[in-house]
Each structure stands twice: as structure tokens, then as C-alpha cells.
């Protein structure tokens, strides 16, 4: 039984590289004006386990997120995280690479 579980796990690992892609999500945020705003948003978003990296562009009021390989984050989850941080979402744009 254990062996079967193990080989299933190995099989799943072999499949992983083909499912290896990350997503770039750009969120336009209303009300984000300084680095404290940016920090608050970053802290909330980092709680999502699928977030790999966050870059905030304060001039353009954009939050760019890179998801971990093979994962995605729903618009709803992103919107909720921004709202929880005390800001509003203007738009969400996605860019799949790979
Ligand atoms: Cu601020």
C-alpha cells in the first residue's frame, strides 16, 4: 500500500514540469499613495500561499504579483485582499507566461 502511494507521488512529480507556469497579475489600486499603503497591501497579499513575489509601483498605482509556478489566484481573492487592506481595486489584468 505504501509503495503504491509513493509511486503515485513520484508520478505526480514527473507531471509537474509540464504544469510549470506562473501568472503575472497587475492590479490597479485606488487610494494607494505612499510606501505605508504599499507595505500594508504587500503584507496582506503575502498571506496568500500562491503569491511568489509582489512589486508595487506607487507612481502608477499598480500592484504586480507573480504567482508560484503552477498556481493562480482568483480575482475575488485579490479583490478581497486589497479591500481588507483598506483600498479599492480599479482593475485586474493577467498575463500568463509559459
Ligand atoms: Cu499611504
Q: What is the pLDDT along the chain (98 residues), one digit of tens a residue?
A: 567 777 777 666 665 555 568 899 999 999 999 999 999 999 999 999 999 999 999 999 999 999 999 999 999 999 999 999 999 999 999 987 65
> Distance from the CA of 32 to the center of ligand 1, in angstroms?
6
Where in the chain are the domains? Answer: 21-97
Tell which phi-psi region holds residue 54, choosing left (phi > 0), alpha (psi between -120 and 50) or beta.
beta
- Position 17 scores a pLDDT of 53
Cβ-contact 98, 23 below 8 angstroms: no
> Distance from the CA of 67 to the center of ligand 1, in angstroms?
25
Cβ-contact 80, 43 below 8 angstroms: no
Grid cell, residue 78, equals 485579490
Grid cell, residue 1, equals 500500500
> Distance from the CA of 78 to the center of ligand 1, in angstroms?
19
> Distance from the CA of 92 to the center of ligand 1, in angstroms?
21
> Distance from the CA of 54 to the center of ligand 1, in angstroms?
17
Q: Looking at domain 21-97, which CATH architecture does it have?
A: 2-Layer Sandwich (3.30)
Residue count (the chain): 98
Amino acid at each position: 500500500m505504501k509503495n503504491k502511494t509513493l509511486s503515485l507521488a513520484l508520478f505526480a512529480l514527473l507531471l509537474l514540469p509540464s504544469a510549470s507556469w506562473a501568472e503575472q497579475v497587475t492590479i490597479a489600486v485606488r487610494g494607494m499613495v505612499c510606501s505605508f499603503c504599499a507595505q500594508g497591501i504587500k503584507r496582506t497579499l503575502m498571506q496568500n500561499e500562491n503569491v511568489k513575489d509582489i512589486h508595487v509601483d506607487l507612481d502608477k498605482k499598480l500592484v504586480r504579483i507573480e504567482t508560484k509556478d503552477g498556481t493562480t489566484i482568483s480575482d475575488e481573492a485579490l479583490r478581497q485582499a486589497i479591500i481588507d487592506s483598506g483600498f479599492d481595486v480599479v482593475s485586474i489584468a493577467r498575463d500568463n507566461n509559459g
